[in-house]
Every structure is written in structure tokens, then in C-alpha cells.
């Protein structure tokens, strides 16, 4: 995994970037009255206020932020994962998911209680730990050393290690809960 490098915006693009930022501010302000007042007053909008407003707009399902990146050499992947955390709804922000379990319709509530339910969204090979499967927990608690049922493949898989990923570093954790994004090491049957 290569180190992320941030560079200064080239001088010939600064004006365009500022114009596009202002357009984005105005678009997001349509979903947030406080931001609208700041924009109309010509006040400077700090990054945290901007992020909260983008999240609020995204939760309406009428505003869709887009990020660029490529899995080749992980360019933009950290920014994409940060955007998922910053802007997309957490499991507690959305109503219960309707799912099928043993040919019956069930509601999957976003809570730490109940059977474990998660979605794997990326599989990659890491030279130090092997296969990493990134997933988001929708219900329950996952502890290392336990087994999970892969409903797509109809197989049980053992969770050996759970990692919390931070850019180019990783921290081994004992468990993850509803709303968490983590990575499991060594899942052989899980695909995306």
C-alpha cells in the first residue's frame, strides 16, 4: 500500500476549484438552512460544517456525492472510505432492511443485538496479512475467532483476525459492532 501524497492545487486551477467549491456549497445549502444562511451572508464555511451538510443532503437520497479513485495502487481509496464514513447513512440512520431467512421475510434492525449481518464490499490481497475482506456491520457483534455464515456461498467461514484499517496502517481489534467498517483476514469464500 503506497503512502498517500497531497499536493498543492496548481495555480492555474485554483480559480476553477474555488468556483466549483462554491457551486457545491450552493447545491448542498438547498438541504441545510444553516449552511444556506452562511452562503447567503458570504461567510467562510469550515470543513466540518461542510461535511455535516453534505451528509445531511446525502441522507435525503436526493443528493449523491461522487469521489474518484482506482484500486490500482489504491489511489483515492482512503478518500473513498473516508467519504463512506463521513457521508453515507450508518445502519442506525436507515429503517430496518427486509431480508429473506430460511424462506421467510424478516426485518433486520440495525442494532448490536441479534444475529450478525454484514456486507462485504471489497476484497484485496495485502503482502503482510494475505486476503483482506472489507465489510460493514449492519447488525450484531462480530468477535475474532467466531464463525459467520456466508449466505451467498452457503458456507460457514471462521473469522481469524479483525482489523481496523487506518490509511496505510492497521490495528487488530477483538470485535466490531453495528455501524462499524472493518476488515477480516483470510476469508476464502467471500467475494464482492
99 part of a folded domain: no
Phi, psi of 62 (to 5 degrees): -115, -5
The CATH number of whichever domain residue 129 belongs to comes to 2.40.30.10
The answer to whether residue 179 sits within a structural domain is yes
Residue that has been written with the C-alpha cell 473516508 in this structure = 82
Distance CA 83, CA 91 (A): 15
Asked whether residue 83 is domain-assigned, the answer is yes
Cβ neighbors of 9 (< 8 A, separation 6 or more) are: 17
Domain interval for residue 143: 110-185
> Which of 24, 56, 87 is the C-terminal boundary of a domain?
87
Closest alpha carbon to 130 in 188, 65, 191: 188
Report pLDDT digits (tens) over 53-99.
999 999 988 999 998 888 777 788 888 888 988 998 876 777 787 87
Q: Encode pLDDT of 111-152 as tens digits.
A: 888 889 898 999 998 888 889 999 999 889 999 999 999 888
Structural domains in the chain (count):
2
Q: Is residue 104 part of a domain?
A: no
168 lies in a domain? yes
CA atoms within 13 A on the CB side of 82: 10
**Nearest-CA neighbor of 135 among 91, 69, 168?**
91
Give the separation between CA 173 and CA 145, rounded to whole angstroms: 12
Residue 98 lies in a domain: no
Decide which of 87, 120, 152 is a domain's last residue. 87
Amino acid at each position: 500500500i503506497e503512502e498517500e501524497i497531497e499536493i498543492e492545487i496548481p495555480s492555474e486551477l485554483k480559480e476553477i476549484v474555488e468556483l466549483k467549491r462554491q457551486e457545491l456549497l450552493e447545491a448542498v445549502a438547498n438541504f441545510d438552512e444553516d449552511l444556506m444562511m452562511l452562503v447567503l451572508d458570504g461567510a467562510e464555511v469550515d470543513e466540518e460544517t461542510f461535511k455535516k451538510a453534505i451528509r445531511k443532503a446525502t441522507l435525503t437520497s436526493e443528493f449523491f456525492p461522487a469521489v474518484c479513485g482506482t484500486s490500482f495502487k489504491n489511489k483515492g481509496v482512503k478518500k473513498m472510505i473516508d467519504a463512506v464514513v463521513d457521508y453515507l447513512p450508518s445502519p442506525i440512520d436507515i429503517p430496518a432492511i427486509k431480508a429473506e431467512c430460511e424462506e421467510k421475510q424478516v426485518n433486520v434492525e440495525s442494532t448490536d443485538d441479534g444475529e450478525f449481518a454484514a456486507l462485504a464490499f471489497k476484497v484485496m490481497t495485502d503482502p503482510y496479512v494475505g486476503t483482506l475482506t472489507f465489510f460493514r456491520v449492519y447488525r450484531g457483534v462480530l468477535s475474532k475467532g467466531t464463525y459467520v455464515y456466508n449466505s451467498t456461498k452457503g458456507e460457514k467461514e471462521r473469522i481469524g483476525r479483525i482489523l481496523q484499517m487506518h490509511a496505510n496502517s492497521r490495528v487488530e481489534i477483538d470485535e466490531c459492532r453495528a455501524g462499524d467498517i472493518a476488515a477480516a483476514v483470510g476469508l476464502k469464500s467471500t467475494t464482492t
